[in-house]
Chain A
Amino acid sequence: MVDQATAPPAVTVWQIDLVPADGQRDRIAEELAAEARDIGLAVNLDVSASRGFLLQGDLEQARIEEIAQQLLAEPVVEEFQIASCEQNTSPATGTVYVLPKPGVTDAQAETALAAMRALGFQVAAVRTFRKFQIQNQSPEQLQQLASKLLFNDAIEQVVFGELAIENLITQQPYDFQLQIVSLLDAHDDDLNRISREGGLSLTLVEMQTIQQHFQSLERDPTDIELETIAQTWSEHCSHKTLAGKIEFSDGTQTLHFDNMLKETIFAATQTIRKELADNDWCVSVFKDNAGIVEFDDESCITFKVETHNRPSALEPYGGANTGIGGVIRDTLGTGMGAKPICNTDVFCFAPPETPAEALPPGVLHPRRIMKGVVSGVRDYGNRMGIPTVNGAVYFDDRYAGNPLVFCGNVGLIPNNMAFKEPQPGDLIVTVGGQTGRDGIHGATFSSAELTEHSEVTSGGSVQIGNAITEKMVTDVLLQARDQNLYTAITDCGAGGFSSAVGEMGEELGAVVWLEKAPLKYQGLSYTEIWISEAQERMVVAVPEKHWETFEKLCRDESVEATVIGKFEATGKLKLTFNDQQVGELAMSFLHDGRPQVVRQANWHAQPTSPIAEPVGTVDVNSALLDILSSPNVASKHWIIRQYDHEVLGGSVIKPLVGLYNDGPSDAAVIRPKLKSRRGIAVSCGMNPYFGDFDPYHMAQSSIDEAMRNCVAVGADPNRIAILDNFCWGYTDRPETLGSLVRAALGCHDLAIDLKTPFVSGKDSLNNEFSYTDDAGNRQTISIPSTLLISALGQVPEVDRCVTMDLKQAGNAIYLVGITDPTEMGGSHFNLVTQQTGGDVPKVDSALANAIFGKIHQSINQRWIRSCHDLSEGGLAAAAAEMALAGGLGVVLDLNPTMAHSKHHSRPHEMPPQANMVGQLFAESNTRFLCEIPPQFIAEFEDLFGTQAVRLGSVCDTPNVEIQCGDFQIALSIADIKQAWQKPLDWN
């Protein structure tokens, strides 16, 4: 006989469907039908959608109704339906459920569960679902719709027909068992196998080094020791390729690098700092989670841009979401913790109009990737309350298998908080999210090449973030910082605790009690706990005397903080699980033991094709409209408007400016301190097409572009800090590595010339996608060599800032800088007219220094009413953009500049048509269009001399008219705006 008092309560899983109320739109269904049509899956999809919750608990139906009414169903617009999940036995055709896979972050469910419990409902578990009713589709069609539109296998599961779930709790207890890896006597084959099967991404030489180390210790390693080494030595964490030995040859010289990054980019910064001497405004470069520079007497600013490419390829929403979450934690983990103040995001995708059948197998459609990535950034950045103020999007077929997602964040930190040092005896405290199996092997996965099977094998590397957890962590940590409650802080990123504790304790030593880490669910092994990349976790070093205060501060705001170990001056990393030692590694071996290999890097100059007359008839009007419509140039308002770019209240120059708030700003300006008039400017430069010609000049052009964007709005050119993000193909190929080294050399040389220091950077290598084509041949797509330069400028007084929209009819328009009409290589004119020929644009650094300085001086004198940098599409595109933004026309005559082109280009030897095309569309660096009121013309001309040429005036008639030799551009602003806004004017 069962004792009723001790019998387990009857537990039911309830299903609550939330459906649009009568008369309300089914918005999600409408969007799905539109999307199905857009990607060619179904013309008139008959679909209805709802959302819902699964609840497990010993609750009567009446109580479930209360929950649905009080908490879940939106008043007025939603109705709810309740059923016991076991009642759902009849398989309904056309019904599709999508649920987050167990273990994947389900923020809605977590929040709902907490809210229900707070109201006194005894609920044991909650899961969310999305439900679709799709009519008139065969099972095969349903399958296809589901996989293309409804769910992503990396994070979600799909159920066709009704749900029949008896239990939402899928916990499994963990039985401790120490895992020893037999390494001492392993042959090379075995070493390779151990690395491959363990997902360690360690090379044979590295495995041999590890083997020798343990041979000297006369014991085999445990799994956790091997994992720790793999994480620490991963490309993602150690940058072993670029920070390693490289022998570079370009046919004329051979250069030997012991540490390529240190001897190029970092060296440039050191040179600049030495020259600046007492005026050095860099504070911490290339050593913390972000670069730090001085801002004002009290504060510094920090800047970091990360990539999150691999996860975004597999699960765009989650990848971008955790990308932005990760870089915000970099800011929080810089110095003693900086306050995040703005985001910048740059993406590279295949063109959104790519036909599905033209894509390699196993990749998501670029449109879906783009929508997912933008939503991911939006939902995280907006929830964090950090304005996303700057960005760019580039499109190229070669990004089909490897989209790039760059997420950047700027922080503000008191200037006495820029450095940190954990002390022996400090407690190792994890703050924020709990640990689950999320993202295991993210660090090693991100260093490997993608294939069409990546979606299947690397699902564990893909995660969804929970921004509110991170926001709560931010709120308490900034308070704890100001109360001096900890001595050091870093983020848990790739490699999880393994990297965070390993880095913090590098000079000291640490012991970690792994069983103490709070878990999302039971069943994790000690190694999984150690390397999990679960999101929203920070690690801080808290002196024992402050622990109580620190813990209370966290508890008061419902943030979980747990002691998981202690820093101690042993020089060793000791890992235990319930008092049993599971790993012990010397910090010195971990951080300095990695074997050095010399990598070969070759670069050969590409044969140039001299400028020649354009093929066929040139229609400059349609060329200009095509450039404005090309997705790289076209308006990004669909993205920009989804981001909160004004939160924190410091917005000065917004991403969209002008008479109708719809013109493309060169850079964003914000005031980090509301009581101060001092601002920061954020901009970027990137020219993947130039890299196909010469990565050296691509790098320099990107620096110039980032600088001129910043200078154009009013930033001081002597106070711009820049970041590098290299995204390259397979760098074990000497030619690919060679092109990267060549780009790094370009960075080094121009940074020194402009006295513009790099303060941080990051690289992402091996961005290649391999698949087998229909004919059975193995194919590889390598991304174009992509270098993002991000610039962080400073504006002494924001009230002097300038925007790019034309302001007043009658004002004069000047071209500042010098057009070289031969610089058509990689230009957008060539792209849209399928022309070839011309050189890649170069930077004349002396001229650049002079022009940037004079532009800044003119802006400070308030001589300039509008200023726009010349980039994709050259002068013609810039003039068109200024006109559409200002709602005013321009009449320009380029004939004066034809006689005034760059000295070495010998314009008289130029083919005449090519010369005219070049004047209009060449993408020569360091050029601006400036609008000058009549009363300042004399001063402006005096200052610039021959570096500025008057081209014409702003006019009341709504047309853009540009005369250039025989060519004439004559277009209405309405047509220009239409061409520019339409391509990406998505719903």
Chain B
Amino acid sequence: MKPKVLVLRAPGTNCDQETAYAFEVAGADAEFMHINQLIEQPSATQNFQVLCVPGGFSFGDDIGAGRILASKFTSRLKDTIEEFRAAEKLVLGICNGFQVLIKTGFLVPADATGLPVTLTWNHNGKYDCRWVNLKNAGSDCVFLQDTELMYLPIAHAEGRFVVRDAATLSQLNNARQVALKYVNPDGSNGQVPFPHNPNGSDENIAGLCDESGRVLGLMPHPERFIDRTQHPRWTRLPEGASADGLKIFENAVAYFA
């Protein structure tokens, strides 16, 4: 049975179609659902194995990236999401979807002083569209099984991952929640200057999973590299070169096999 993916749409979602297509290429069935419809009928999630919050500018990101869609989740769909997670299903948030997952607290819960992490304005203060080198940081994330280095595009203005303090960071490391890191073109990490760490993220963090490894949020766009001609240098590469992004969707499908 093909797993069924719910690709969530909200006002301003704009990567929904290519994300659904990536899931289909990987062997899943994808369906779109608008946030209004989901709020009206939360039980619809029972028919799905994967929930994907794709990229875009939900509600314009007018207040802060992902903020309002996150507030819809926390105020109207909290139980639905918890049930979905408890059923050991998968959740993927890409770019704006990652911002939403962060701001709901689903990845790192809030404490008495609020959320201990956020995704905020890039260090250079601007929207930036470029390809970056990434490394699997060694979590048990379902989506990143059998991956090591990846080359994917980012396209965001608010992708700088910031932690409140060192304690938060070590907690994330201890729980093996750090999933993806920006690295230098030679694969090295440590000092990763702009543009290789494109936004100035703390610890070069590009993606985070929850403790179970079944919920992943990442700033890069894997759905934008599922075909060789999407690579910026495909005209310089051999014909059989693989498309790194596809693996993330295939892993989601393989999880249910």
Once the chains bind, are A658 and B155 in contact (CB under 8 Å)? no
- Min CB gap A385→B, angstroms: 2
The verdict on A69 contacting chain B, using a C-beta distance below 8 Å, is yes
Interface residues of B in 53-101 (CB under 8 A from A): 55-57, 59-64, 67-68, 71-72, 75
The verdict on B193 contacting chain A, using a C-beta distance below 8 Å, is no
Bound CA–CA A112/B12 (angstroms): 15
Once the chains bind, are A115 and B71 in contact (CB under 8 Å)? yes
B residues less than 8 Å from A558 (CB atoms): 11, 36
Once the chains bind, are A119 and B236 in contact (CB under 8 Å)? no
- Min CB gap B192→A, angstroms: 17
Interface string of B235-252 (1 = CB under 8 A from A): 110000000000000000
Bound CA–CA A72/B68 (angstroms): 10
A residues less than 8 Å from B114 (CB atoms): 69, 75-76
The verdict on B117 contacting chain A, using a C-beta distance below 8 Å, is yes
Once the chains bind, are B72 and A652 in contact (CB under 8 Å)? no
Interface residues of B in 25-59 (CB under 8 A from A): 34, 36-37, 55-57, 59
The verdict on B140 contacting chain A, using a C-beta distance below 8 Å, is no
Q: Which residue of A lies closest to B163 (CB)?
A: A76
Once the chains bind, are B127 and A378 in contact (CB under 8 Å)? yes
Bound CA–CA A69/B230 (angstroms): 41
The verdict on B9 contacting chain A, using a C-beta distance below 8 Å, is yes
Once the chains bind, are B229 and A799 in contact (CB under 8 Å)? yes
The verdict on B254 contacting chain A, using a C-beta distance below 8 Å, is no
Once the chains bind, are A119 and B153 in contact (CB under 8 Å)? no
- Min CB gap B145→A, angstroms: 23
Given contact pairs A115-B68, A385-B56, A556-B37, A645 touches B120 in the complex (Cβ within 8 A): no
Interface string of B4-28 (1 = CB under 8 A from A): 0000010111110110011000000
Once the chains bind, are A987 and B128 in contact (CB under 8 Å)? no
Once the chains bind, are A71 and B127 in contact (CB under 8 Å)? no
B residues less than 8 Å from A640 (CB atoms): 129
The verdict on A906 contacting chain B, using a C-beta distance below 8 Å, is no
Once the chains bind, are B233 and A658 in contact (CB under 8 Å)? yes
Once the chains bind, are B129 and A649 in contact (CB under 8 Å)? no
Q: Which residue of A lies closest to B195 (CB)?
A: A641
Bound CA–CA A103/B209 (angstroms): 44
- Min CB gap B82→A, angstroms: 19
Interface residues of A in 444-489 (CB under 8 A from B): 466-468, 471-472, 475
The verdict on A428 contacting chain B, using a C-beta distance below 8 Å, is no
Q: Which residue of B lies closest to A713 (CB)?
A: B235
Once the chains bind, are A649 and B235 in contact (CB under 8 Å)? no
Once the chains bind, are B229 and A652 in contact (CB under 8 Å)? yes
Bound CA–CA A108/B60 (angstroms): 8
Once the chains bind, are B229 and A77 in contact (CB under 8 Å)? no
The verdict on A90 contacting chain B, using a C-beta distance below 8 Å, is no
The verdict on B143 contacting chain A, using a C-beta distance below 8 Å, is no
Once the chains bind, are B14 and A384 in contact (CB under 8 Å)? yes
Q: Looking at the complex, which of A131-139, A214-222, A802-810, A949-957 is the stretch in contact with chain B?
A: A802-810
Once the chains bind, are B128 and A642 in contact (CB under 8 Å)? yes
The verdict on A382 contacting chain B, using a C-beta distance below 8 Å, is yes
- Min CB gap A555→B, angstroms: 9
Q: Which residue of B lies closest to A808 (CB)?
A: B236
- Min CB gap B63→A, angstroms: 6
- Min CB gap B58→A, angstroms: 9
- Min CB gap A63→B, angstroms: 15
The verdict on B181 contacting chain A, using a C-beta distance below 8 Å, is no
Q: Which residue of A lies closest to B34 (CB)?
A: A557
A residues less than 8 Å from B62 (CB atoms): 107-108, 110-112, 468
The verdict on B125 contacting chain A, using a C-beta distance below 8 Å, is yes
A residues less than 8 Å from B55 (CB atoms): 647
Bound CA–CA A384/B72 (angstroms): 21
Bound CA–CA A119/B120 (angstroms): 23
Given contact pairs A557-B36, A642-B128, A649-B223, A468 touches B64 in the complex (Cβ within 8 A): no
The verdict on A604 contacting chain B, using a C-beta distance below 8 Å, is no
- Min CB gap A526→B, angstroms: 31
B residues less than 8 Å from A803 (CB atoms): 235-236
B residues less than 8 Å from A118 (CB atoms): 71-72, 75
Max chain A CB contacts within 10 Å: which of B11, B114, B163?
Answer: B11
A residues less than 8 Å from B235 (CB atoms): 653, 657, 801-803, 805, 807
The verdict on A844 contacting chain B, using a C-beta distance below 8 Å, is no
Bound CA–CA A115/B130 (angstroms): 32
Given contact pairs A108-B62, A111-B63, A556-B37, A74 touches B236 in the complex (Cβ within 8 A): no
The verdict on A671 contacting chain B, using a C-beta distance below 8 Å, is yes
B residues less than 8 Å from A656 (CB atoms): 232
Bound CA–CA A407/B15 (angstroms): 22
A residues less than 8 Å from B227 (CB atoms): 674
A residues less than 8 Å from B117 (CB atoms): 75-76
Given contact pairs A556-B37, A646-B221, A76 touches B233 in the complex (Cβ within 8 A): no
Bound CA–CA A649/B17 (angstroms): 9
Q: Could you say which of A115, A378, A384, A649 contacts B63, with CB atoms under 8 Å apart?
A: A115
Given contact pairs A112-B62, A642-B128, A646-B155, A75 touches B233 in the complex (Cβ within 8 A): no
The verdict on A420 contacting chain B, using a C-beta distance below 8 Å, is no
A residues less than 8 Å from B63 (CB atoms): 71-72, 108, 111-112, 115
The verdict on B138 contacting chain A, using a C-beta distance below 8 Å, is no
Interface residues of A in 845-871 (CB under 8 A from B): none
Bound CA–CA A385/B235 (angstroms): 26
Bound CA–CA A949/B235 (angstroms): 24
Once the chains bind, are A468 and B60 in contact (CB under 8 Å)? yes
- Min CB gap A369→B, angstroms: 18
The verdict on B126 contacting chain A, using a C-beta distance below 8 Å, is yes
Q: Could you say which of A31, A472, A648, A671 contacts B229, with CB atoms under 8 Å apart?
A: A671
Once the chains bind, are B162 and A107 in contact (CB under 8 Å)? no
A residues less than 8 Å from B230 (CB atoms): 646, 649, 651-652
The verdict on A588 contacting chain B, using a C-beta distance below 8 Å, is no
Once the chains bind, are A77 and B232 in contact (CB under 8 Å)? no
The verdict on A644 contacting chain B, using a C-beta distance below 8 Å, is yes
Interface string of B136-173 (1 = CB under 8 A from A): 00000000000000000101000000111000000000
A residues less than 8 Å from B121 (CB atoms): 27
Bound CA–CA A466/B72 (angstroms): 21
The verdict on A383 contacting chain B, using a C-beta distance below 8 Å, is yes
The verdict on A654 contacting chain B, using a C-beta distance below 8 Å, is yes
Once the chains bind, are B71 and A75 in contact (CB under 8 Å)? no
A residues less than 8 Å from B232 (CB atoms): 654, 656-657, 661
Once the chains bind, are B236 and A674 in contact (CB under 8 Å)? no
Bound CA–CA A468/B12 (angstroms): 5
Once the chains bind, are A27 and B60 in contact (CB under 8 Å)? no
Q: Which residue of B lies closest to A799 (CB)?
A: B229
Bound CA–CA A798/B235 (angstroms): 11
Bound CA–CA A468/B114 (angstroms): 29
A residues less than 8 Å from B110 (CB atoms): 75
Bound CA–CA A656/B232 (angstroms): 8
The verdict on B124 contacting chain A, using a C-beta distance below 8 Å, is yes
Once the chains bind, are B14 and A471 in contact (CB under 8 Å)? yes
A residues less than 8 Å from B163 (CB atoms): 76
Given contact pairs A71-B67, A108-B63, A641-B129, A468 touches B57 in the complex (Cβ within 8 A): yes
Q: Which residue of B lies closest to A21 (CB)?
A: B164
A residues less than 8 Å from B135 (CB atoms): none
Bound CA–CA A805/B11 (angstroms): 40
Max chain A CB contacts within 10 Å: which of B12, B103, B221?
Answer: B12
Given contact pairs A111-B63, A467-B60, A642-B127, A648 touches B155 in the complex (Cβ within 8 A): no
Max chain B CB contacts within 10 Å: which of A383, A644, A651, A654?
Answer: A644
Return 11 A-B CB contacts under 8 Å, by A number: A74-B118, A75-B103, A76-B162, A466-B60, A468-B60, A556-B37, A557-B36, A645-B129, A646-B224, A647-B224, A805-B236
A positions within 8 Å CB-CB of B: 27-28, 31, 69-72, 74-77, 107-108, 110-112, 115, 118-119, 378, 382-385, 466-468, 471-472, 475, 556-558, 640-654, 656-659, 661, 671, 674-675, 798-799, 801-803, 805, 807, 987
Pick the 3 closest A-B CB pairs, nearest first.
A385-B14, A649-B18, A111-B62
5 further contact pairs, Cβ within 8 A, besides A75-B114, A108-B62, A471-B11: A75-B110, A76-B120, A110-B62, A385-B56, A467-B57
